[in-house]
Structure 1
């Protein structure tokens, strides 16, 4: 009776190497976030005050935000510091992801990585800045003006943080639309003609997404949907300027 065939070690070794490399990259990514967090956690209270300023500026006199949970005054600023640490470490995190997948990429694909990381981080930060400096003042002023007589507008700090994190994420991802459009086109997944023909569907999808991720007021939805549509057009314009060469190369 013949002995059972042993698993080829040459087949398992690359898998183990990939897993070890993945673990190493994850450790470096988490370490980068942790280092940023340790550096900025002493300023957690100031960071929360900055984040809360758009709402605090429209609250009536002698009114402030409230904490309905005993530990909220401690943990909410810590959450803000963690959010800021994640954003500061985002370029380092994206680099670790690139370093893991780079060996499997072609040379022409590797050339796209640096502009992709730079544009992704810049656009995400621009989306958050747009939300903070333009959307929040208009939105909170509108809500304050709609408060019924006899009702005190006092928001819980934990709920406020959850709300602004959702808004930051929505606008940050919205501003990534040009990157997604250009990347899909350069990889040959979606040709330019399809991107141009999809405009009506993009407009509908933009307002549907805005209705999901923003408060139920028309103003907030417009301020998310319109930039999404314009950024989609920006991505299509970049693809048009690049022509169809990228699609042909990827097809080859």
Structure 2
């Protein structure tokens, strides 16, 4: 009978800890958002995001806003997206701090690298999309467009395209993490992954064709990095498994 109050007390304490971590994560996001609003500001952030598209348009061209509130809402949405990316390590740290007390030492060695590498890989995927992919995709589209068509992108459509592409590249850059987790949990072995490599590569190209615009430049820009990251995951997995193995029980 005495165990029931202890269980309830433990459960309530975990809920309180979870609430505090969620509040800290939200506060971190709010602080980053406010700082970005102050400097460099939503307009400057959107101008930076729009630069790859503007570089591909004829000199002097600009985007258009078809909605009345679009010139205000779109830069604010971009600022929120950037704030989420910048604050992601802090949010993941709060998640890590919540679960860390209940983990063994070898489990902490498993989680901490995954949290850090997940943040880094997601940011790397977004950066790769912005600095490498966008310029080539927009240039290809501009060169392919007939001269009778005036290319004047709408800022809301452009934002939707940019956000979907950045999220797609950020998520797909997590491929090494997925491979490492699958191998570490014993769901599949490295040998089996190497055996089914042709099917995995085919799936990578199918996914790339689905999530990117219907042009070869976008598809290969996503598929080739995914393939390379898959191979990196195969190389890293054995070492990661060795480093995070539980110590043998001693009598």
Q: Please indicate, yes or no, whether the TM-score normalized by the shorter chain is above 0.5.
A: yes
**Contact 1:191/1:244 (8 A) holds in 2:** no
Map Cα deviations across residues 108-163 of structure 1 (whole Å, 9 max, x no partner): 01023332222112211111111111111110000001112211111111111111
Distance 2:187 2:98 in 1: 23
Match status 1:225 vs 2:223: yes
Query: Which of the numbers 8, 15, 21 marks the counterpart of 1:19?
Result: 15
Match of 2:49?
51
Distance 1:168 1:243 in 2: 28
Distance 2:126 2:235 in 1: 23
TM-score by length of 2: 0.91
Match status 1:173 vs 2:171: yes
Query: Which of the numbers 28, 31, 53 marks the counterpart of 2:24?
Result: 28
Match of 1:71?
69
Matched residue SS, 1:152: coil
**Contact 2:109/2:244 (8 A) holds in 1:** no
Deviation at 1:22? 1.4
TM-score by length of 1: 0.90
Deviation at 1:200? 1.7
Query: Which of the numbers 184, 193, 196 marks the counterpart of 2:194?
Result: 196
Gaps of 5+ in 2: none
Distance 2:170 2:240 in 1: 27
Matched residue SS, 2:65: coil
Deviation at 1:244? 6.2
Match of 2:185?
187
Q: How many residues align?
A: 247
Deviation at 1:173? 1.2
**Contact 2:64/2:152 (8 A) holds in 1:** yes
Deviation at 1:172? 0.9
Gaps of 5+ in 1: none
Any residues of structure 2 matched to 1:142-181 within 5 Å, and which? 142-181=140-179
Distance 2:110 2:137 in 1: 37
**Contact 1:214/1:220 (8 A) holds in 2:** yes
Query: Which of the numbers 207, 210, 224 marks the counterpart of 1:209?
Result: 207
